[in-house]
Amino acid sequence: MEISCPACGKNNQTQVSPACARCGCDLASLRLIMTGAVWHLKESVRQLRTGDWGMALQNAEQSWALHHSPRAAQAAFLAATAMGQTGNILLWRHRARE
């Protein structure tokens, strides 16, 4: 996963170094946020596989709050669909398509 530097806009690989390759901006906090987003997404996917729809939705929502990724929106869409939450289904379907 790449992190876009907030100072100069350069895309940096998440595991390479704690600083932006172009301008030296400290990206450590952003890397921690991305790590949390990935963790919550993985948990959501695991919970979808086991049928724990409520926790899958919560983890997908947390992942989305940390990083607006299409995969987090898709996981939330699937969990909301499994629970029959029409309002959430429409919301997450829209976000997954953005």
2 versus 26: which is more confidently predicted?
26
Question: What was the pLDDT predicted at 2?
Answer: 79
Rounded CA separation 8/53 (Å): 40
CB contact at 8 A, 40 and 63: yes
**Mean per-residue pLDDT for 83-98?**
94
The CA-based angle 93-5-96, given to 5 degrees, is: 5
Number of structural domains found in the chain: 1
The pLDDT tens digits of the residues spanning 4-43 come to: 899 999 998 766 678 998 999 999 999 999 999 999 999 9
**Mean per-residue pLDDT for 84-90?**
95
The pLDDT tens digits of the residues spanning 56-75 come to: 999 999 999 999 999 999 99
pTM given for the model: 0.87
Query: By residue range, what is the domain housing residue 37?
Result: 2-97
